[in-house]
Structure 1
């Protein structure tokens, strides 16, 4: 519960503090327990860590300094074709459920998510969005701060990092440690149940 309330979108990262590969792996492994449609997990991540890659990404984010200051920025990618037969999850489901049930589930997924371009986009973005929030909570669990970014050049990043036709950038998430010499604004009020929910 503390991870939820302690998470903040941190604008200022301490560039002297690193995130090693083992810690990043722990964060992603925990985050990947996020739910997804048919457990298809139609997502990928590029971890931008090198100075060269950060420089490329910086230009495509309008010069947001957190890209350079944070030890790693994740490019969260949604796969619009993640429901199709090439997804290895179907083989796992087949081993668990049998060929007939899996074939039925695959047909249902294709009808639900692949029948129009809009549905493909919704499929990719909604599932990758679930992973993204899970990453930020998992990071906080391990004492790591984060900041999501969507004010970016989506197509430019897709091209620069060679994502391929069916994969789209959903958001960026910088991970690192808050620069204690800076100050965060107080947490802004959130809409409460009474403002959010209409019961029908």
Structure 2
């Protein structure tokens, strides 16, 4: 059946997540696609007790944040479509001429991301690709995860010095299941017949 996900609500606070494993998870996950390969994301890895407490207070006091060895704050950059992002020029590595790269930059600025809503969607959608990739990568390395959208973005941005041109997309707790606990039963997931409309 392949990889099966459960959102792990209970993390073993006695087990740390090795820094090298975390690096491997992230280095595998960043192979996720993004528009123009612009990679408009960054990650704040919350590990210290002090930082966990600040995040806990800004994320509706969810206990898993204190128990998990690390929680990742997934941040999307609404301005990453501009020429200031040197990822545009990675296209040179595969032979794309500069005039075509500049044409893509102009198209992004004038058509694709020419409103605040489009810029926000650009950051959120692309960072979401990385987010799901992280969950698969974590599972590959034997690490459990919990996806979180319950938080107060303004408080997280203030606590972790995240500027206005960036958006807190999601949080993801990583660690190991507390075997003394019982996972909640899996609820029904709708399948192909219920969600697919073929046209």
- Under TM normalisation by the shorter chain, which class is it? over 0.9
Q: TM-score, normalised by structure 1?
A: 0.95
1:30-61 CA distance string (max 9 Å, x none): 11011100110000000000011001001001
Aligned partner of 1:148 in structure 2 is 147
Aligned partner of 2:2 in structure 1 is 2
Report the aligned-residue RMSD.
Answer: 1.2
Give SS of 2:109's match.
helix
Aligned partner of 1:72 in structure 2 is 70
Say whether the 8 Å CA contact 2:157–2:168 is kept in structure 1: yes
Q: TM-score, normalised by structure 2?
A: 0.96
Superposed displacement of residue 147, structure 1: 0.4
Tell me if 1:85 matches 2:87.
no
Counting matched residue pairs gives: 198
Question: Equivalents in 2 of 1:77, 1:33: separation in Å?
Answer: 17
Tell me if 1:174 matches 2:173.
yes
Question: Equivalents in 1 of 2:63, 2:133: separation in Å?
Answer: 24
Alignment of 1:113-132 (within 5 A): 113-132=112-131
Question: Equivalents in 2 of 1:30, 1:110: separation in Å?
Answer: 30
Question: Equivalents in 2 of 1:30, 1:191: separation in Å?
Answer: 29
Aligned partner of 1:163 in structure 2 is 162
Question: Any stretches of 5+ residues in structure 2 without a counterpart?
Answer: none
Question: Any stretches of 5+ residues in structure 1 without a counterpart?
Answer: none
Say whether the 8 Å CA contact 1:81–1:114 is kept in structure 2: no
